[in-house]
Amino acid sequence: MKTLNRRTFGLLLGGLAAVVVFGSEPPALAAEDLSKVVLRVGDQTGATKAKFEAAGLLADIPYQIEWSVYPAAVNLHEALKADAIDIGQAADSPTVSAIAGGSKIKVVANYSNGGLGSSVIVPAGSPIKTIEDLKGKTISPTTRGSVAHYLTLGVLKKAGLTQDDVKLAFLNPSDASAAFQAGSIDAWGAWGIYKARSIGTLKATVLIDGPGINTGNFVLSATDNALADPGKVAAIADFSTRIERAFDWSKKNKDAYLDFYAAFTKQDKATIEGLYPEEAAYVRQPTDDTFAASLQNVFDTWKEAGVLSGNLKLADYVYRGLPTN
């Protein structure tokens, strides 16, 4: 497979070059042809579209986007598996779970913040002060196979505990939020808007964050059907670059980002500022052998925990045809 670099991609958009997909070289796409491409994008909580709007990244898109909003990665990956959307972004752990479940997708881009973002949180005034205090407690890792589930397993291992030492309550994000607020769970593996609202509204505290356990990889996946369409490949390449530009916008425009995310999450700016480092740390990473090995380690960790079984070569599910610099 040849690699599509930024120069070639730019020529492709202008109708002057051919895109290389799965070893074939279809005719070049003219710019007006891209206007007929419809890219179906899955968006967790609507955060990507909202940030694109705030960063001014929706004004000059040369193709059409159909947005679909999902509350969590498991729902987004169900849509990818059903071929209801072409692409969607989620952490690497639920993505590996989806691949193991038979989803015909490939990871096309990766953005990492080193493990920040997903956290185990506890209610205000909780007697739980250390991860060892989780023994005998009820923890919601949100949905099975999620990034928060992966973090919870890693936290238990770090504390010298097993799954048998706690009660795991798998809940969708809305139900987990309600249970956390009602006090029917002692700790919650949360991320993004759910964590922001719990800290801001309920004064929850972070017991432990992801670095050292989670990779922090937030990956963009595409269906095999989408990757077989050269027009959609060109659109996906552009979209992946816009994600990168959105992260750059966040870093260079802190106040504007805080205003946007405070409004989006309906929280005060002081709360959002405390979460800003996890957003500012994102950097696009290559989808290379090192990344494939990282995905393989996620799969092996799921197997060790009894969440997944069988054998899987994750390198076969990494698409290396999009530009990274």
Tell me: the pLDDT tens digits for 287-305? Answer: 999 999 999 999 999 999 8
Please tell me the predicted confidence (pLDDT) of residue 291: 97
Contact 227, 106 (CB under 8 A): yes
Q: What local confidence, expressed as pLDDT, does residue 325 receive? A: 54
Average pLDDT, stretch 260-281?
94
Task: Give the C-alpha distances (Å, rounded to integers) separating 221 from 51, 104, 116, 310.
Answer: 19, 10, 20, 22
d(CA 44, CA 118): 14
What is the Cα–Cα distance from 172 to 256, expressed in whole angstroms? 31
In whole angstroms, give the CA distance from residue 110 to residue 108.
7
Q: Return all residues near 193 (Cβ < 8 A) that are at least 6 apart.
A: 45, 47, 264, 265
- Amino acid 192: pLDDT: 87
Asked which of 23-27, 58-62, 111-115 is least confident by mean pLDDT, the reply is: 23-27
Residue 236 has pLDDT above 50, yes or no: yes
Cα atoms in the 13 Å half-sphere on the side-chain side of 197:
15
pLDDT at 31 over 50: no
Residue 105 above 50 pLDDT?
A: yes
Helix (H, G, I), strand (E, B) or coil at 212: coil
Q: How far apart are CA 180 and CA 271, in angstroms?
A: 18
The mean per-residue pLDDT over the stretch 204-233 comes to 96
pTM (two decimals): 0.85
Asked if residues 175 and 202 have their Cβ atoms less than 8 Å apart, the reply is no
- Kindly state the tokens that stand for 167: 């009660």
Confidence of residue 225 (pLDDT cuts 50, 70, 90): very high
- Tell me, what's the pLDDT at 323? 67
Per-residue CA distances from 75 to 71, 138, 140, 271 (Å): 7, 24, 17, 27
